[in-house]
Amino acid sequence: MIKTPYYLIDKSKLLRNMEKIAYVREHSGAKALLALKCFATWSVFDLMSQYMDGTTSSSLNEVKLGKLKFGGETHAYSVAYADDEIAEVLAHSDKIIFNSVGQLERFADASASHVRGLRLNPGVSSSEFLIADPSRPFSRLGEWDADNVATVIDRISGFMIHNNCENSDFALFDQMLGEIEDKFGSLLEHPQISWVSLGGGIHFTGDDYPLDQFCDRLKAFSERYGVQVFLEPGEASITMSTSLEVTVLDTLYNGKQLAIVDSSIEAHMLDLLIYRESAKMAPNEGELEYMVCGKSCLAGDIFGEFRFERELKVGDRLSFIDAAGYTMVKKNWFNGVKMPAIAVRELDGSVTLVKEFTFDDFVSSLS
């Protein structure tokens, strides 16, 4: 048995998402790029690259990772590029997307021979959290003034519009895309524009999502404006494919039954802390309820409250499901808590340990 804690990526579950992505690609004509900001564990890129067209990034490091480890088409995007990194970004990308007209103009000469795009901000989004809302008041993410964009449209050939966030509602996606068309239609219709990325955050691989309606809407958008549509699935690529395997280290009672495990939300599932959400566990049924807590010194290091059929004991193994998105890319060494290993369950059912982190890794992350 692999020593906990560790992330376990199940390729058979990952494959289900890939097959849905392939269906959308075939029936809509859209291309799909893995959003590395959500998931960048390149040990499973061998499978994912068979079903996706490439990667999209948010930094120089992600651009290089996508180019070197995934292949296919590589889109480079960043909220702001620095002077000393633009040459490498261009060298490792097929398209570069600027966040602002100012950045486009600043690097106009350096990127003159590159395929260039610009991020648009439509002012609407599906986010329920202000911290994740790209269309929040005074947002720095993209250009919102169509007239301003029109002044530089001769320098670009496409747009990126990322305004969905954990959106599993097709009707809402359709509505917001209509608002985008109303606001930016004159830009989309411009003969200079040949591609549009609609970003990520669309949970089209979820259960019961109306894939055919989604495909029809994408195809209609593509045909109306004569553009190649790109999608940037992150969470949709890896949803329900991965678990975080942990072991109970201690139990106690302090008004509630508590169980402490060999992991930490701040170190290993940081999004739970940021968005004040609970982890998901399977199984999660029974008459006994425990608050499962992390081992760090943070008082709020709590995975959530879960139900069990029997009393938890030291040494019991627990499994937090749906643990791939924004976890491995955010893991850290808070409190020096042991970094989870990474394991892959292959399609034949065998499990391969692909990465373990050691004390030397901890030391080298410091100074």
Q: Are 230 and 262 in contact (CB under 8 A)?
A: no
Q: Which of 211, 201, 159, 205 is CA-nearest to residue 176?
A: 201
- Report the distance separating Cα 365 and Cα 359, nearest Å: 10
Is 235 marked as a binding-site residue? Answer: yes
268, containing H or E segment: helix 265-268
Whole-prediction pTM: 0.96
The Cα-based distances of 108 to 7, 112, 152, 316 in angstroms read 42, 6, 10, 58
- pLDDT, tens digit (0-9, with 9 covering 90-100), for 306-358: 999 999 999 999 999 999 999 999 999 999 999 999 999 999 999 999 999 99
User: In the structure, what pLDDT confidence band is assigned to residue 121 with cuts at 50, 70 and 90?
Assistant: very high
Instruction: Report the pLDDT averaged over residues 43-64.
Output: 98
Rounded to whole angstroms, how far apart are CA atoms 141 and 80? 10
Taking all residues of the chain, what is their mean pLDDT, rounded to a whole number? 97
* Average pLDDT for 45-59: 98
What string of DSSP letters covers 300-312?
Answer: T-EEEEEEESS--
Rounded Cα distance between 55 and 234, Å, is: 10
CA distance 134 to 121: 8
For 263: left if phi > 0, alpha if psi spans -120 to 50, otherwise beta; the answer is: beta
The answer to whether 282 touches 319, Cβ cutoff 8 Å, is yes
Q: How confident is the model at residue 288 (pLDDT cuts 50, 70, 90)?
A: very high
Query: Which pair of tokens denotes residue 350?
Result: 């065998």
Contact predicate 152/158, CB 8 Å? no
User: Which region, left, alpha or beta, applies to residue 56 given φ > 0 means left and ψ of -120 to 50 means alpha?
Assistant: beta
Domains and CATH numbers, the chain: 11-237 (3.20.20.10), 242-323+331-365 (2.40.37.10)
Q: What percent of the chain has pLDDT over 90?
A: 98
Short-list 118, 31, 27, CA closest to 73: 31
Average pLDDT of the segment spanning 48-69: 98
Among 205, 203, 242, smallest CA distance to 11 is for: 242
Per-residue pLDDT for 99 more than 90? yes
Task: Say which residue the tokens 């490439």 belong to.
Answer: 54
Q: Which of 304, 305, 231 is nearest to 55 (CA)?
A: 231
Residues whose CB is less than 8 angstroms from the CB of residue 327 and which lie 6 or more positions away in sequence, other chains included: 7, 242, 244, 268, 269, 270, 271
Q: How far is CA 39 from CA 95, 148, 225, 236, in A?
A: 20, 34, 31, 10
Give the model's pLDDT for residue 1. Answer: 85
**Which value, in Å, is the radius of gyration of the alpha carbons in the chain?**
22
| 129-170 pLDDT per residue, tens | 999 999 999 999 999 999 999 999 999 999 999 999 999 999
Coil vs helix vs strand at 23: helix
Spatial contact of 143 and 150, defined as CB atoms under 8 Å apart? no
88 belongs to an annotated ligand binding site: no
What is the pLDDT confidence band of residue 291, given thresholds at 50, 70 and 90? very high
130 vs 263: CA distance, rounded Å: 28
Banded model confidence at residue 56, pLDDT cuts 50, 70, 90: very high
3-18 confidence digits (pLDDT tens):
999 999 999 999 999 9
Q: Which helix (H) or strand (E) segment is 190 a member of?
A: none
What's the average model confidence in pLDDT over 183-197? Answer: 97
The angle that helices 211-225 and 170-188 make with each other, rounded to 10 degrees, is: 10
Has residue 53 got a pLDDT over 90?
yes
Q: What is the pLDDT of residue 75?
A: 98
